[in-house]
Amino acid sequence: MANPTHRHTRSRRDKRRANWKGQLPQLTECPDCKEQKLPHRVCANCGSYKGKKVIEVVSK
Ligand SMILES: [Zn+2]
Protein backbone atom coordinates (compact mmCIF):
# COMPACT_ATOMS: atom_id res chain seq x y z
CA MET A 1 0.00 0.00 0.00
CA ALA A 2 1.08 3.55 -0.65
CA ASN A 3 2.89 4.97 2.30
CA PRO A 4 4.44 8.40 2.77
CA THR A 5 8.22 8.22 2.50
CA HIS A 6 8.97 11.55 4.12
CA ARG A 7 7.24 13.53 6.75
CA HIS A 8 6.08 16.94 5.56
CA THR A 9 7.02 20.02 7.54
CA ARG A 10 4.52 21.76 9.80
CA SER A 11 4.64 24.66 7.39
CA ARG A 12 3.73 22.48 4.43
CA ARG A 13 0.97 20.75 6.37
CA ASP A 14 -0.50 24.04 7.54
CA LYS A 15 -0.31 25.57 4.07
CA ARG A 16 -2.34 22.66 2.78
CA ARG A 17 -4.91 23.08 5.55
CA ALA A 18 -5.13 26.82 4.96
CA ASN A 19 -7.20 26.09 1.87
CA TRP A 20 -9.59 23.89 3.79
CA LYS A 21 -12.64 25.96 4.57
CA GLY A 22 -16.14 25.04 5.49
CA GLN A 23 -18.61 25.66 2.71
CA LEU A 24 -22.12 26.94 2.98
CA PRO A 25 -24.62 24.61 1.34
CA GLN A 26 -26.09 25.68 -1.95
CA LEU A 27 -29.51 27.20 -1.37
CA THR A 28 -32.37 27.61 -3.79
CA GLU A 29 -35.68 29.39 -3.52
CA CYS A 30 -38.82 27.36 -2.89
CA PRO A 31 -41.21 27.89 -5.81
CA ASP A 32 -44.21 27.74 -3.47
CA CYS A 33 -43.30 29.93 -0.51
CA LYS A 34 -40.11 31.65 -1.79
CA GLU A 35 -38.24 30.46 1.28
CA GLN A 36 -34.57 29.46 1.02
CA LYS A 37 -34.24 25.70 0.87
CA LEU A 38 -31.70 23.00 0.04
CA PRO A 39 -31.91 21.75 -3.54
CA HIS A 40 -33.47 18.28 -4.04
CA ARG A 41 -34.98 18.42 -0.56
CA VAL A 42 -38.53 18.91 0.60
CA CYS A 43 -39.09 22.52 1.66
CA ALA A 44 -38.93 22.79 5.45
CA ASN A 45 -41.24 25.79 5.44
CA CYS A 46 -44.23 24.58 3.42
CA GLY A 47 -43.48 20.85 2.97
CA SER A 48 -43.76 20.90 -0.80
CA TYR A 49 -41.65 19.18 -3.41
CA LYS A 50 -42.01 19.44 -7.19
CA GLY A 51 -45.14 21.56 -6.82
CA LYS A 52 -46.91 19.07 -4.55
CA LYS A 53 -47.35 19.10 -0.81
CA VAL A 54 -45.64 15.92 0.34
CA ILE A 55 -45.30 16.36 4.11
CA GLU A 56 -47.22 18.12 6.84
CA VAL A 57 -45.09 20.82 8.45
CA VAL A 58 -45.29 20.75 12.23
CA SER A 59 -44.71 24.23 13.59
CA LYS A 60 -45.03 25.74 17.04
ZN1 LIG B 1 -41.71 26.19 0.54
Q: Where are the domains of the chain?
A: 26-55
- Taking the centre of ligand 1 as the mean of its atom positions, its distance from the CA of residue 28, in whole angstroms, is 10
> What are the per-10-residue average pLDDT scores of the chain (60 residues)?
93 91 85 89 88 76
- Taking the centre of ligand 1 as the mean of its atom positions, its distance from the CA of residue 58, in whole angstroms, is 13
Q: What is the per-residue pLDDT for 53?
A: 79
Query: Is the CB of residue 47 less than 8 Å from the CB of residue 53?
Result: yes
N- to C-terminal Cα separation, the chain: 55
What residue ranges in the chain does DSSP mark as E strands? 28-29, 36-37, 48-49, 52-53
Q: What's the predicted TM-score (pTM) here?
A: 0.49
- Taking the centre of ligand 1 as the mean of its atom positions, its distance from the CA of residue 53, in whole angstroms, is 9
Q: What is the per-residue pLDDT for 60?
A: 67
Q: What is the per-residue pLDDT for 6?
A: 94
Q: What is the per-residue pLDDT for 54?
A: 78
- Taking the centre of ligand 1 as the mean of its atom positions, its distance from the CA of residue 51, in whole angstroms, is 9
